[in-house]
């Protein structure tokens, strides 16, 4: 498996420094938070896109994916959501990133059937232009569709190879799903896995990997047993928790912890 970290853990850090951290601490790739307050976002000019792709290539670091904020089940205009995904997919193509992350985003008062149908309709459209661009759109296990079972209700309706799943291990755990259950649901669709750690269900402040309660060992064991050979991306949510310890000082230990989990499960 390959290891990456998300720029959510180093909010606003210049790209040159993000790449320096990745190289110095032995990470194969970076998940880029695609937001206007970050160095990489859909508003980049063609020249800026070319320069960004060249910087990653020169550093020998891969762009794992773009973490976007489109909410595919949310009430409102289909067109606005689809255009948001289209912009992200175009940026991903220009940067050589294989994946774009979207959220479910179903609203309170929306029935599960309605949320599933809205999300599937929009993702089916996105699948077509994603295929043309050579990018996969991944629905994260999050918010209204927290578990693997929730996500696969939508993905089964879409039925297109260019739309898959992003397994956020915290949300599936909070949803009461065991790692084996999540993997069984998501296996046909799985793009990559976001790992993290927290103190408890009531305190989701990010911790160093292995310092909290999330079943990381079980997740890695399940993936290894099924010979899944993809990406583990550490999503350390420093952006939302200012008091959390800086990610920079945790990167070596985090990579070592993931390596031990892989060795133990081999």
CATH, residue 60? 3.20.20.150
pLDDT band at 266 (very low <50, low <70, confident <90, very high): confident
The domain tally of the chain equals 1
Q: Which residues of 50-86 are buried (b: 16+ CB within 10 A; e: fewer)?
A: eebeeebeebebbbbbbbbebbbbbeeeeeebbebbb
Using a pLDDT cut of 90, give the percent of the chain over it. 99
Return mean pLDDT, the chain. 97
Question: 40 pLDDT exceeds 90?
Answer: yes
User: Average pLDDT of 123-138?
Assistant: 98
User: Average pLDDT of 16-20?
Assistant: 98
Res 63: pLDDT: 98
Give the domain extent around 166. 2-265
Model pLDDT for residues 49-96, shown as the tens digit of each residue = 999 999 999 999 999 999 999 999 999 999 999 999 999 999 999 999
User: Average pLDDT of 135-163?
Assistant: 98
């Amino acid at each position: 498996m390959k290891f990456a970290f998300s720029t959510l853990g180093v909010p606003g850090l210049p790209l040159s420094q993000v790449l320096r951290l990745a190289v110095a601490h032995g990470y194969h790739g970076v998940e880029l938070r695609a937001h206007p307050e970050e160095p990489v976002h859909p508003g980049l000019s063609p020249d800026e896109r070319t320069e960004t792709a060249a910087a990653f290539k020169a550093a020998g670091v891969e762009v794992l994916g773009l973490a976007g904020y489109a909410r595919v089940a949310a009430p409102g205009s289909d067109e606005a959501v689809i255009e948001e995904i289209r912009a992200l997919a175009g940026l991903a193509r220009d940067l050589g990133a294989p994946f774009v992350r979207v959220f479910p985003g179903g609203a309170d008062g929306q029935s599960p059937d309605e949320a599933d149908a809205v999300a599937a309709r929009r993702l089916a459209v996105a699948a077509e232009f994603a295929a043309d661009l050579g990018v996969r759109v991944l629905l994260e296990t999050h918010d209204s569709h927290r578990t693997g079972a929730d996500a696969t209700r939508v993905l089964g309706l879409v039925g297109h190879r260019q739309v898959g799943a992003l397994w956020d291990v915290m949300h599936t755990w909070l949803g009461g799903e065991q790692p084996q259950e999540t993997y069984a649901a998501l296996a046909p669709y799985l793009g990559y896995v976001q790992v993290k750690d927290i103190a408890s269900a009531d305190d989701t402040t990010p911790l160093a990997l292995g310092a909290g309660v999330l079943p990381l060992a079980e997740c890695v064991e399940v993936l290894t047993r099924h010979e899944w050979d993809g990406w583990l991306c550490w999503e350390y949510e420093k952006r939302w928790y200012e008091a959390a310890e800086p990610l920079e000082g945790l990167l070596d230990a985090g990579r070592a912890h993931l390596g031990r989990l892989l060795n133990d499960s081999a």
